Amino acid sequence: MRGRVKVAGPSNWCGNEAERDAAERDEAERDEAERHEAERDRGGAHRRTGPPDDAHTGRPACGATGTLPRGTRVTRVTELPVVAGLPAPGRTLVMGVINVTPDSFSDGGSFFDHDAALRHGRELIAEGADILDVGGESTRPGAARVDPEEELRRTIPVIRALADEPAIRDGRTAISVDTMRAATARQAYEAGARLINDVSGGQADPAMIPTAAELGCAYVQMHWRGHSVDMQSRAHYQNVVTEVRDELARLADRALAAGIRADRLVLDPGFGFAKTGEHNWQLLQHLDVLHELGRPLLFAASRKRFLGTLLADPDGNPRPPLGRDDATTALTGWAAQHDFWAVRVHTVRPSRDAIAVVDRLRRTPGPGDS
Ligand code: PMM
């Protein structure tokens, strides 16, 4: 599951001084190579098995000490996971959040209005969102359930309208519905959603997993120990990392046994759900353990409370949610480094940029690679 870049080909790739000197003299040639490389980066494919794209010079940049010889092959040894039926651009995906709620902690009801939600969806697409996650129920700690009819009223018209957007129609971007209810998931699917994001992992509504299996769409199962109203009372662990892994494994087994297709199942550790800030940091420090689950992983820490606590002012007042975006972007880089399938965030462009940096580094061969 973990991605690595491998360089295959002549092993003395940094050792030719004459070639290096020539490269340093020829500024124009290097500029051209960089332009070419930028074009390659925009393509962004991870699977690289042919000769270097800068065949024009044969000298992709490899630091100040030398150049790759002509014919060197750069290969990503393992691939990032792909989820059937969803965009697969060859990097960590970015899922933009659209909370059609009056009370989400993270955006304070800014997109409760139908037109505002739609406008926001279009903005997220323009920023490069691969997935739009539309939700009608706040799951902030302490929140009460929203009425099922109200959840439908909030989400379905927004999903239906977004489904008409060119990026959705041509498959560049997909719609996800953030719901714990099978009935909402079904109507969202009929309106154009192709991913069900269920923070309860199938535990809130017994009809959810059979419904997701029947619809055949992608399904996110998050680690969850109970509804938001009292979930923080369940934040007790001996070892949060292995317990979250094992509880997710049991949820996944249940989903697969009920017919959810293995190539459509995504798991999520559920930062902030029945977890203290310290639990979140411990999970973040051991993301590799979650890969033992062998499934694509979703990373959703955007603007969460533990970041507000980290960034508290000198009087100890937590940084408000809208001031947590830079820290969120830092975590996106961390998630991308750890080969997460996708990050769920409130502002898309900074996360796309962070992923582009990690992706570029990943595909840069080092002197020791062979
Ligand atoms: N967190 C929230 C909502 N939906 N979905 C998944 N899969 N994982 C999460 O951690 C998650 C979620 C709560 O945050 P919000 O107010 O940003 O939507």
Over residues 21-71, the pLDDT tens digits come to 444 454 455 555 555 555 544 443 333 322 233 332 222 232 333 344 454
Residues 234 and 288 in one domain: yes
User: Residue 17 is part of which domain span?
Assistant: 5-76
Residue 50: Cβ within 10 Å count: 10
CA gap 108, 280 in Å, rounded? 23
Q: Is residue 85 part of a domain?
A: no
Residues 216 and 253 in one domain: yes
Residues 23 and 133 in one domain: no
DSSP tag of 177? E
- pLDDT tens for 176-196 read 999 999 999 999 999 999 999
Q: Is residue 88 part of a domain?
A: no
Residues 211 and 273 in one domain: yes
Residue 24: Cβ within 10 Å count: 11
Atom 5 (ligand 1) nearest CA: 199
And the tokens for 286?
């051991």
Q: Which of 18, 46, 76 is the last residue of a domain?
A: 76
DSSP strands (E only) in 254-340: 265-268, 298-299
And the tokens for 326?
């830079």
Which atom of ligand 1 sits closest to the CA of residue 107? 16
Q: Is residue 223 part of a domain?
A: yes
Catalytic residues: 304, 344
Residues 58 and 98 in one domain: no
Q: Is residue 235 part of a domain?
A: yes
Q: Is residue 83 part of a domain?
A: no
Q: Which of 29, 47, 76 is the last residue of a domain?
A: 76
Q: Supply the CATH number for residue 276's domain.
A: 3.20.20.20
Which atom of ligand 1 sits closest to the CA of residue 302? 17
Residues 222 and 274 in one domain: yes
Q: How far is the CA of 141 from the centre of ligand 1 (A)?
A: 11
Pairing of strands 73-76, 5-8: antiparallel
And the tokens for 198?
């269920």
Nearest residue to 357 (alpha-carbon basis) of 323, 322, 324, 329: 329
Q: Token pair 């798991």 is at which residue? A: 267
pLDDT tens across the length of the chain (370 residues): 444 433 333 333 333 444 444 444 544 555 555 555 555 444 433 333 222 333 322 222 323 333 444 544 444 445 789 999 999 999 999 999 999 988 776 776 777 789 999 999 999 999 999 999 999 998 887 888 899 999 999 999 999 999 999 999 999 999 999 999 999 999 999 999 999 999 999 999 999 999 999 999 999 999 999 888 888 889 999 999 999 999 999 999 999 999 999 999 999 999 999 999 999 999 999 999 999 999 999 999 999 999 999 999 999 999 999 999 999 999 999 999 999 999 999 999 999 999 999 999 999 988 877 5
Number of domains present in the structure of the chain: 2
C-alpha distance from residue 160 to each of 52, 95, 206, 324 (Å): 43, 18, 26, 31
Which atom of ligand 1 sits closest to the CA of residue 106? 16
- The answer to whether the CB of 255 is under 6 A from ligand 1 is no
Q: How far is the CA of 300 from the centre of ligand 1 (A)?
A: 6
Atom 1 (ligand 1) nearest CA: 300
Residues 42 and 156 in one domain: no
Residues 69 and 108 in one domain: no
Q: Is residue 365 part of a domain?
A: no
Q: Is residue 366 part of a domain?
A: no
- The answer to whether the CB of 137 is under 6 A from ligand 1 is no
CA gap 127, 132 in Å, rounded? 11
Pairing of strands 131-135, 174-178: parallel
Nearest residue to 133 (alpha-carbon basis) of 272, 354, 300, 321: 300
- pLDDT tens for 149-164 read 999 999 999 999 999 9
Residues 67 and 120 in one domain: no
Residues 11 and 53 in one domain: yes
Cβ distance 33 to 55 under 8 Å? no
Q: Which of 76, 110, 127 is the last residue of a domain?
A: 76
Which atom of ligand 1 sits closest to the CA of residue 270? 10
Residues 312 and 235 in one domain: yes
Residues 65 and 97 in one domain: no
Q: How far is the CA of 177 from the centre of ligand 1 (A)?
A: 11
3-class SS at 75? strand
Atom 17 (ligand 1) nearest CA: 106
How far does Cα 349 stand from its chain's mean position?
13
Q: Is residue 368 part of a domain?
A: no
Q: How far is the CA of 297 from the centre of ligand 1 (A)?
A: 14
